[in-house]
Structure 1
C-alpha cells in the first residue's frame, strides 16, 4: 500500500510516498481503508526532527493522527464495527507510531466511532483530534454553566471547536480572533475581541474583572494568564507557552488521547449542526510536501487533508 512518510528528518522535501505492507488487524483492532487523513502541526515538528529523544531515528515514519474511511477488516473480538462501515478515528501516534496518512491503517477499535452521517468522509477527517483536544481542555477547566471562558485563536481549528463546545456547556465565551473570524465568533453567541498587540488589555477591556478560565488555543503564551481571575483556570495546548501557576490559578497542559465513545458524541454534534467541520483544501499524497509548506505559513482556516 502507499503511505506518506520520511526515511530521515528534514524539511518538507523529506516527505515521500512509500510502498509498505498492508497491516493486519490483531485482536480488538480494526483495519480502515483511509478516505482522508488531516495534516497537523505535530507532523511538521516530527518531520523536522525537533522532538529529540521522543522520536529517535527510525527506518521509516508515517505521520497522521486523524483518519476517516471505511472499515476494511476486523480482528477477533471486535463488536460494533463491520466491513463497509464509515468511521472516524484517532491514532495515539506518540504511543503507537502508527500513522494514518496511508491507504490502510490498523487501530484499536476503542479509537473509532461511526462517522457523522451528514458530511462526507473528507470533511469528517477534520473532526477527531482537534475536537478531542477542545473537549479535553474544557474538561480540565471544569467550568459550570454561566461562567466565562476566554479563547485565543477562537476562529482556528482547535479554538473554533472549543468555542462551539463551550456553547454546548452553557458557558459565556469571549473569543480573541482575527478580523476575518469575527462573523464565525459572533454567530456562535460569543463576544468577539479583535487580535492586537495587547491581547491582555483587549480582553480586559470586555472583561474588566477577568474571566473564569482561558484556553490559549493560539499559543500566545504565559502573558495570557493575566486575563484570568484569581483562583481561575488556564489551559495551554503548547508546553513551551505554558505559564507558571499564580494567584491560585490552576494551570493545565492539555494532552489528547483517543476515546471512541467521546468521538461518537462529537460526531453526533456534527449531525445536529452544533459542530462545524472546515476543510481548507484536499491534497493528494504526492503533494504532501506542499501541504506542510502551506500549514507552516499559517493563516489557514480549516484543515489540510491528504487524500490517497
Structure 2
C-alpha cells in the first residue's frame, strides 16, 4: 500500500511516498481504509524534527505522519465488538512515534480510538474533527468549570479554538473570544458572547469586558503571559504546545493538554456535529500524493478550517 513518511527532517519536500505491506489488525484493533486524513500543525512539527528535538518522538529510521482519519472499517481483530467491516468511522492515532500514520491507504487503530462517523457531513469533513475536537474537549475537562463561568479562548477562529468556543458555550460558559477583527462574526456564530480583537494590551481590554478577569483561559494562540494576565487570581490556564507554559503567577493553575485518543468522547463530539452544535470546516482538499503541497498551505497560514488529504473513498 501507499503511505507517506519522513526519513529526514526538514521542509515539506522531505515527505516521502513509500510502498509497504497492508498492516493487519491485532487483538482489540481495527483496520481502516482511509478516505480522508486531516493535516494539522503537529504533522509539520513531526516533519520538521521539532517533536524529536523536544524529546516527544525518539529518533528512528522512518516516522509516520498524520493523526486524524476518516474512512471505513476494512478488517477487525480478535475481541472487537461494536464495529464491523464496512462501518464508516473516524479516529485518532495518538502515538506520534509509530512508523505509520494516517497519511496512508490503510491504518490500524485500537478500537477504543474510533467512533462512528457523523451522519450529516462527509468523511472529508469528518476527518477534521478527532484531533482538534478532542483537544478542545480535553482542555475544557482540565479547567472543569461550572456553568456560568467565564472562559477566554485565544485563536478562536482556528480549528481548536473554534471547537473550544462551541463546546464551552454548550457547557453553559460565557465565552470571551480573541481573534482577528475580520473573524468577529465567525466566532460569534460559534457561540462567543464577547469578542476582543487580538492586539496589544490584550489583558486590559479583556478585563474592561470582564472586571476582575476571566475564570479560565484556553490559549490556543500561544499568547502566554498576555493571555494569563487576563485570568483572575487563582484561575486556570491551559496551554497547547510543549514549552509554551507561562509562569503561574497569582496562584493561577497552569495546565498542559496532552491529547489522547478517546473513542467514547469522540462519539459524543460526533453527536454534537449531527445536532448542529459543532461545525466542521474544510479549507481545501488535496490527494495524498500532494501531502507536501498541503504542508506548504499549512505554513502559509490564514486557513479557516483544515486542509484534508483524500483517499480512494472520499
Same fold (TM over 0.5): yes
- Post-superposition offset of 1:282: 0.6
Q: Which aligned pairs between 1:147-158 and structure 2 lie closer than 5 A?
A: 147-158=149-160
Aligned equivalent of 2:25: 25
Aligned equivalent of 1:229: 232
Q: Is the 8 A contact 1:4 1:62 kept in 2?
A: yes
Q: State the Cα deviation string for residues 137-196 of structure 1 (Å, max 9, x = none).
A: 101001110010011011110000000000110000000011221112222242111111
SS of aligned partner of 2:251 = coil
Moved more, 92-101 or 193-202: 92-101
SS of aligned partner of 1:208 = coil
Residues 1:257 and 2:260 are matched in the alignment: yes
Separation of aligned partners in 1, 2:181 and 2:286 = 27
Separation of aligned partners in 2, 1:128 and 1:276 = 13
- Post-superposition offset of 1:97: 4.9
Aligned equivalent of 1:48: 48
Separation of aligned partners in 1, 2:65 and 2:34 = 13
- Post-superposition offset of 1:59: 2.7
- Post-superposition offset of 1:94: 2.8
Q: Is the 8 A contact 2:23 2:106 kept in 1?
A: yes
Separation of aligned partners in 1, 2:192 and 2:304 = 20
SS of aligned partner of 1:275 = coil
Aligned equivalent of 1:83: 85
In the alignment, structure 1 segments of 5+ residues that lack a partner are none
Q: State the Cα deviation string for residues 46-103 of structure 1 (Å, max 9, x = none).
A: 1111222433443322211100000000001100000100000000123645411100
Match of 1:248 among 247, 251, 260: 251
| Structure 1 stretches of 4+ moved >6 Å | none
SS of aligned partner of 2:89 = strand
Match of 2:185 among 170, 176, 183: 183
Q: Is the 8 A contact 2:92 2:114 kept in 1?
A: yes
Change (3 A) 1:97 1:192: farther
Moved more, 163-172 or 293-302: 293-302
Q: Is the 8 A contact 1:16 1:286 kept in 2?
A: no
Aligned equivalent of 2:133: 131
In the alignment, structure 2 segments of 5+ residues that lack a partner are none
Separation of aligned partners in 2, 1:301 and 1:118 = 20
SS of aligned partner of 2:254 = strand
- Post-superposition offset of 1:202: 2.3
Separation of aligned partners in 1, 2:35 and 2:218 = 31
Separation of aligned partners in 2, 1:165 and 1:222 = 24
Q: State the Cα deviation string for residues 238-260 of structure 1 (Å, max 9, x = none).
A: 23221121212111011110000
- Post-superposition offset of 1:197: 2.5
Aligned residues: 308
What RMSD over aligned residues (CA atoms) do the two structures have, in Å? Answer: 1.3
Aligned equivalent of 1:16: 16
Moved more, 255-264 or 230-239: 230-239
